[in-house]
Structure 1
Amino acid sequence: MLLEPADRLVRALKKTGRRRIPLEMLRKQFASACPELAEQPDRRTRLADALRVAADTGEILLPKQAQSWDRTGGAALPGFVMLATRRPQPSPVVAPGYGWHPLLAFAARERNRLRLQSAKRINEWLKTDPDLSLVVPIKERSLEIFGDEKRLDQLRGGMTALFGQLSLATLGCRVCPIPLPFEAGPDSAHGRPILIVENNDTWASFSEWNHVAGRYSAVAYAGGGHGKSLGYDETFIDELLDRFEAAQLFYFGDIDPAGLRIASRAAERRAGRGGLALQPMAPLYTWLLLHGTRTPLRSGERASQRDLAWLPEDLRDPVEALFAAGQRLPQESLGTRILSQGEIR
C-alpha cells in the first residue's frame, strides 16, 4: 500500500497519459496532487520522499545513471521517472485436466512456460499417432512437429534426450553429425586404421599418397581449428569407423599448443562417451621433431600438462623443450615431397 501522498502523486502521473515523465512535469503534478506539501519550504525533500516510496512499491522506476539526477539545492531529484507497466497474468499453457501422452506424463510437473509449450506441441503431435518406425533426421522431425527445423535441436541442448527424459529415438529421429571431409583408401585398406589430419593441405597430400600406399582405410580432415572443427564434427568419426570397420583411430597435427589442445580435448570427449580412443600417430610426430621446419611460437602460447599428456611419454620432453625455445613445428613439413620419397613407412 502506498503512503497517501505518494499514492496521490502516482495517480496524477498516470492521468498524464505518459510513461516517461520529466522532472518539470513531476513538480507540476506534485503541486497539483499534494498542494499542502508543495507549498512547504522543504517541498523538494517532500517530493523526493514521495518518489522514493513510489519506487519502493514498484509503481515507478528511477533512473540508474548518476548524470540523470538533479543534485542542486538539497535532496536529489530524478531528471525523469518511468511509470511501471503491469504485465497481464499469462493464461495457462495447458488447461486443468489436460491429457498427456504416456511418453510425456512427466510434463504435468513442468513449470517452465517455454518448455511446457514445447512439450504440449510434441504431445499434440503424438496424439495424431504418427508412424515412428522410420527413423528420420532430427531436423526433418522438428519441421514436422514445430514448423521449425531447429527447435528440437534447441530443446535437446547437446543431449540425446529432450527435457532430460524423452529420448530422440522415442520420437523416431536421430542427430546427423555434419560430416568430416575424408578420402577413402583403396579397397585393400578396408579395416585398417583411420587417420585424422589437422590442416587442409597436409590432408590433401596424405589423401593422395594413401590412394597408392593403402596405409589407412580413410584419411579425414579435422578442420584446422576453425569454427567447423573437430570438436563440432567429431561424432561423424563413429560413422567412419563403422563404415570402414576400422579398429584404430589416429590423429596428426601441428606440434604447437593449439594443435595439441584440439587433439587432446577431442580424445577426452571420446573417452568420456566410451568411443574408440583417438591416439597420436607417433611416427609422424617423431618425424616432425627430427626433420620438421621450426617456426616461431606466438608470444604467450602455452601447452598445458593435460594436453601434453596425450602424447606418448617419450615425445613429451622433446615437445616441451621445443616450446621452451619459443618454437613450433607445422605439420606441412611432412607433405607431398616427403611422402613421395617413401620416407614414411
Structure 2
Amino acid sequence: MTVRPAEVATLRAAILGTNSVKIEFDTLWRLWNQAAPRFTGDPGQAAALHEALLELSGAAVIELPKQAWDKSTVPALPRHVLVPSARRLGSERPWVTFPWCRRLGWVSSLPVLSPALFADLVKINDWLGRNDAEKLPLVPVRYRSAEIFAREKRLDELERTTLFGPERLSLAMLACTRLAPPAPAAVVGSGPDVLIVENSDTYWVAVQELRGSACHDIGAVIWGSGKTFPAQAPSLATDVAGQGPLRGVAWYWGDYDPAGTFTAVAAARSTDAVDVRPAAGLWAAMAGLAVQEAGTVDWTNAVGREWLGRELWDRLSYVRAAGGRIAQELVPLGLVAAWAGEPDERTPAH
C-alpha cells in the first residue's frame, strides 16, 4: 500500500506537536500507528513508515540519524529522529534542546520549567550519566540527595512536584529509598511486645516502672513523640532499641483527646508489618478521672471508636460530652506496671 499525503501530514503534525528535539523510535512508532492506523499489523507497516520519514526528511521537518538505525527491520528504521524547529524554540526554553539521557527524555516535552528545576534536572542527568542506578545499592533518600545536589533535603522538595510520577522521576530511578524515622525506645525486658506512649514524661515513668518489675512480657518502651508516631511506626518492623524487628504486639497509649485517638488510629493504619493495638487497660484507667479543659475540645468527627473498642469508648463518653480531654499523666504511676503484668487484660472489648 502507498502512503497517503494525509497520513504524512498527520504524522508531521504529531511530530511537531511533541515540541521535542529528539523523538525516540518507540514514540515515533506510536505516532505513526495513530497517523496511519490502516497499516497496523500489515507486513508493509515498517516500509510505509520508512517512506513517510524520508518524505519528512526531504521537507526538512525532521533530521534522520547518520548511524543510529535498527537494521533488524526491512527496510531499516531510525532509532530516533531530530526535529530542527523544536531546537529553534529552545532558545528561550533550554530544556527543549538539552541532550537528556534516555530516562529523562520526557523533560524536553515539558511546556514550562523554572530555571531552578532545570538546574536540578541537569544535575540528575549528570548523575545518571555517571552511574548505573540498577547496579547500585539502595541508600536513604537524603544520602542520595546530598550526593546529587549537595543538599540533603532537595529530593524531599522535588518529590512534592510534578517532576515525580509515572514515567517521570522516581526514587527507584535514583537508587534510593525513604526510611521511616526511628522511634526512641528503651529496653525494659526480654518480652516480644512493646508499649508506645504519646508523651515524653510518661515514657520515662513507664521505663522506670517496667525496669523495676520482672512480672511482664514488655520488651521495650517507645516514645511516640506526639503526632509523629504514624510516620515512625513502620520502623518497628526493622528495629526496636537495637534488638531487631518487633516480635510481638505494639501496644499504644496516648492522651484521650481527638489528637491522641487520631494518632493511634493513623499509626495502626500506617503499616501492615506492625500490629498496633490499644493498651486497653491503660486507656480504661482514664475512665472516671476528672475532665480537663472542659468546653474547649471539639470532638466533632473524632476517630477511635472501633480501634479503642465500643465499650471503652462509651465509658469515656462523659469526656466527649463535656468537650474536654484527659492527659495520660493523670493516670497513677503504678498502673503501668500493673497493666504490663496482666497480658490477658490488654485487648479491649468490642
TM-score bucket (shorter structure):
0.5 to 0.7
Distance 2:221 2:111 in 1: 49
- Gapped runs of 5+ residues in structure 2? 1-89, 343-350
Equivalent residue pairs, number? 245
Q: 2:139 aligned to 132, 136, 139, which one? A: 136
Paired letter, 1:120 = V
Q: How does 1:209-224 map to 2 (within 5 A)?
A: 209-211=209-211, 212-213=213-214, 214-224=216-226
Contact 2:196–2:221, Cα closer than 8 Å, also in 1: yes
Query: Partner of 1:284 in structure 2?
Result: 282
CA distance in 1, matches of 2:339, 2:165: 54
- Structure 1: stretches of 5+ with no match in the other structure: 1-88
Aligned to 2:318: 321
**1:234–1:111: structure 2 CA closer, same or farther, 3 Å change rule?**
farther
The within-5 A match list for 1:129-278 is 129=131, 133-157=136-160, 162-164=164-166, 165-186=168-189, 188-189=190-191, 192-211=192-211, 212-213=213-214, 214-225=216-227, 229-240=228-239, 243-268=244-269, 270=270, 274-278=272-276
Q: CA deviation at 1:174?
A: 2.3
Task: Quote the sequence identity (%).
Answer: 25
Shift of 1:154: 0.8
Please give the alpha-carbon distance, in whole angstroms, between the structure 2 residues aligned to 1:331 and 1:258.
Answer: 13
Structure-2 change in CA distance of 1:207 and 1:111 (3 Å): farther
Alignment-mate amino acid for residue 222 of structure 2: A
Distance 1:220 1:256 in 2: 20
1:202–1:335 CA contact under 8 A, matched in 2? no
Secondary structure, aligned partner of 2:267: helix
CA contact (8 A) 2:290 2:326 kept: yes
Letter in 2 for 1:324: A
8 Å CA contact 2:281–2:339 kept in 1: the answer is: no
1:158-209 per-position Cα deviation (integer Å, ceiling 9, x unaligned):
99x93444332332222243322111233x32xx222210111111111223
The CA RMSD measured in Å over matched residues stands at 3.3
Flag the structure with larger Rg.
Answer: 1
Deviations 1:114-150 (A, max 9, x none): 4454333211211113675233222221122122222
Is the 1:202–1:334 Cα contact (8 Å) retained in structure 2?
Answer: no
| Contact 1:293 1:330 (C-alpha < 8 Å) held by counterparts | no
- Partner residue in 1 for 2:53: none
Taking structure 1 as the reference length, the TM-score comes to 0.60
Matched, 1:93 2:90: no
Give the structure-2-normalised TM-score: 0.59
- 1:253 is displaced (CA, Å) by 0.9
Return the alpha-carbon distance in structure 1 between the equivalents of residues 153 and 293 of structure 2. Answer: 43
Measured in 2, the distance between the counterparts of 1:335 and 1:103 equals 60
User: What CA distance in whole angstroms lies between the structure 2 residues aligned with 1:120 and 1:169?
Assistant: 18
Question: SS of the counterpart of 1:266?
Answer: helix
Which amino acid in 1 is paired with 2:296?
A: S
Matches within 5 A, 1:98-109: 98-109=98-109
Asked if residue 310 in structure 1 is aligned to residue 313 in structure 2, the reply is no
Task: Tell me how far apart the structure 2 counterparts of residues 232 and 140 of structure 1 sit (CA, whole Å).
Answer: 19
> Shift of residue 90 of structure 1?
7.1
Q: Is the CA contact 2:186–2:221 (under 8 Å) kept in the aligned structure 1?
A: yes
